[in-house]
Amino acid sequence: MKELAIVLLSSGMDSAVCTSIASQNYRLALLHFQYGQKAYKKELECFQKLVEFFKPEKAEIIYLPFFKNWGGSSLISNEMEIPEKEEEEEIPSTYVAFRNAIFLSIATAWAEIIGATKIFIGVNQIDFSGYPDCRSEFIEAFQKAISLGTKPETKIKIETPIINFSKKEIVKIGIKLGTPFHLTWSCYRETEVACGKCASCKLRLKAFKEAEVKDPIPYQIS
């Protein structure tokens, strides 16, 4: 029997492609977080559709409401606007403090309990948003924490299959593997159709354009 892998699935294009990649060789356990992000409804809706599509062995939605109270990120806080222009700060205002570490630590706990041997995460350090917790140095350090902080017999490895791919390459791999891009949501905003103006929409639009593939989801501007 194939081994079990957890995939962190936000419902964005990167994590959806990661799910397609993981599904080639593993039984799937899909993990989604609702942490107060503005696009929470769309992401949840897409996650549920992706669960129907991938038919994983397990699927779990974890609610982390504390970020909403703490604020500090334009991805979450209603008092901060999602930016449309390049920001001057090194780290964009959409950065959510240590988010990937929280996601990975909860994924690790679940993996240890259900016996999963891999955790797939769709971080990317090429066409990326500049978040520190998306870089390979961080992932390597976290891997070490997993190895030292779990039972001696537990073997869990973080897999980052798209970390060094361009967004264009990610689209191409997704097309090849049949990733259902029409069921994904990348926009930072909670709108009926993607805004096309936030950093995440811009990266996605650029990716499909460069890959010479039509993005199947509608945009407010095109």
Query: Which is closer to a second copy, CB of 72 or CB of 161?
Result: 72
Query: Which is closer to a second copy, CB of 24 or CB of 69?
Result: 69
Per CB under 8 A, 100 contacts a second copy: yes
Query: Which is closer to a second copy, CB of 10 or CB of 100?
Result: 100
The distance of closest approach from Cβ of residue 57 to a second copy in the complex, given in angstroms and rounded to an integer, is: 15
Among the listed ranges 46-54, 68-76, 162-170, 187-195, the one in contact with a second copy (CB under 8 A) is 68-76
CA 216 – CA 118 distance, rounded (Å): 30
Per CB under 8 A, 216 contacts a second copy: no
Maximum Cα–Cα distance across the chain: 53
- Give, as ranges, the residues between 29 and 48 that touch a second copy (CB under 8 A): none
Per CB under 8 A, 60 contacts a second copy: yes
Number of residues in contact with a second copy under rule CB under 8 A: 42
Per CB under 8 A, 1 contacts a second copy: no
Three-state secondary structure readout of the chain: CCCEEEEECCCCHHHHHHHHHHHHHCEEEEEEEECCCCCHHHHHHHHHHHHHHHCCCEEEEEECCHHHHHCCCCCCCCCCCCCCCCCCCCCCCCCCCCHHHHHHHHHHHHHHHHCCCEEECCCCCCCCCCCHHHCHHHHHHHHHHHHHHCCCCCCCEEECCCCCCCHHHHHHHHHHHCCCHHHCCCCCCCCCCECCCCHHHHHHHHHHHHHCCCCCCCECCC
The distance of closest approach from Cβ of residue 99 to a second copy in the complex, given in angstroms and rounded to an integer, is: 7
Among the listed ranges 11-19, 132-140, 182-190, 210-218, the one in contact with a second copy (CB under 8 A) is 132-140
Per CB under 8 A, 145 contacts a second copy: yes
Among 26, 47, 54, 142, binds a second copy (CB under 8 A): 142
CA 40-62-80 angle, to 5 degrees, is 35
Q: Which residues bind a second copy (CB under 8 A)?
A: 60, 62, 66-67, 70-72, 90-91, 95-102, 104-106, 108-110, 112-114, 132-133, 135, 137-138, 141-142, 144-152
